[in-house]
Structure 1
Amino acid sequence: MMFSADRVFIVEHAGERDELLVLLANSLRQDGLVKDSFLAGVLTREAEYPTGIDMETHSIAIPHTEYEHVNQTGFAIAINRAGVEFHRTDEPDARVKPAIVVLMAIDPGCEKVAIIQSLFGLLGSLEQVNKISQYTPEQIAKTFTDSVSTR
């Protein structure tokens, strides 16, 4: 299952970005979707190519790594109420506090561009992000399942 309520986390207490990524990556590993090397791949990539995206009215983050660390496509989601910071993709010295963080594990059979376009379509408006942020983990998983295309 690409999206699961078991991999949706409501983050209420401040922490570091890497702690949040460990939480998300471990949930994917526990479900067998990623290899043991996945977390190191995500942390290395995030340090080199940050994934915080400033969308003017709000921000999101879409961390990921290369497909060789992935067994099967899946996602882990954090509703970031704690304000954990990510460096920006377009301006790495600047930081944003993404409202929603979507950790992607994409296998080679999926179209990464289609997935990212779907995520931008779903998370592109502040109104939609605020709405999703109030959902239960089950509602969040269903919303993403209904909205994200892998082809």
Structure 2
Amino acid sequence: MYFDREIILFNQSATDRGNALKLLADEFLKRKLVTNKFLDGILERERNYPTGLNVNGLGIAIPHTDSDKVIVSQLGFLSLAKPVEFREMGSNVGKVDVSMIFMLCLKNANDQLEMLQKLVALFQNEHLVSQLQTCDSVENFIEVMKQAGIK
């Protein structure tokens, strides 16, 4: 359900955080899953509430925005060829070199907390995170998400 539109991009090149977020947000826009205010909402929220996480030495970000910019719920995934710097979640000064981004595009605001909890549980599973790091096919990625209880 959350990955049925297959917004899953591997080994992408981005010059910085904004460029990486735009790459992924543009995929949502192309598929008409979001309004044209979606990227602006993602960037603004990222400025005010950073989403970079250091998970056992691996940088992961979970950007999202308000549900009024969403038409159809979906999640997106982007892995980067070279990490880009994000600000650390819950910190105004910490930095994280992010190599994986899970972008939340959820119509129901209440679904955001539940999805964030599922993603954090996934990030705590070293085996699944290791699989994500080497994943290079949509089929393998979907299988990892199913194992994590995220469909």
Normalising by the smaller structure, the TM-score range is 0.7 to 0.9
Residue by residue over 1:93-114, the C-alpha shift from the partner in whole angstroms, topping out at 9 and shown as x without a partner, is: 2211223210111112752121
Alignment partner, residue 23 of structure 1: 23
Identity across the alignment (%): 24
- The verdict on how the C-alpha distance between 1:62 and 1:109 changes in structure 2, with shifts beyond 3 A counting, is closer
Point out where structure 2 has 5 or more consecutive residues left out of the alignment.
Answer: none
Alignment partner, residue 99 of structure 2: 99
Alignment partner, residue 133 of structure 2: 133
- The verdict on how the C-alpha distance between 1:109 and 1:51 changes in structure 2, with shifts beyond 3 A counting, is closer
Alignment partner, residue 121 of structure 1: 121
With the length of structure 1 as denominator, give the TM-score of the two structures. Answer: 0.86
Alignment partner, residue 58 of structure 1: 58
Which of structure 1's runs of 4+ aligned residues deviate more than 6 A? none
Query: 8 Å contact 1:79–1:100 — kept in the other structure?
Result: yes
Query: 8 Å contact 1:5–1:141 — kept in the other structure?
Result: no
Point out where structure 1 has 5 or more consecutive residues left out of the alignment.
Answer: none
Alignment partner, residue 144 of structure 1: 145
Alignment partner, residue 88 of structure 1: 88
In 1, distance between residues paired with 2:82 and 2:103?
17
- Considering fraction of residues, name the structure with more strand: 2
Query: 8 Å contact 1:114–1:149 — kept in the other structure?
Result: no
Alignment partner, residue 111 of structure 2: 111
| Residue-pair matches, total | 150
Greater Cα shift, 91-100 or 115-124: 91-100
Matched AA of 1:139: N
Q: Secondary structure at the match of 1:35?
A: coil
With the length of structure 2 as denominator, give the TM-score of the two structures. Answer: 0.86
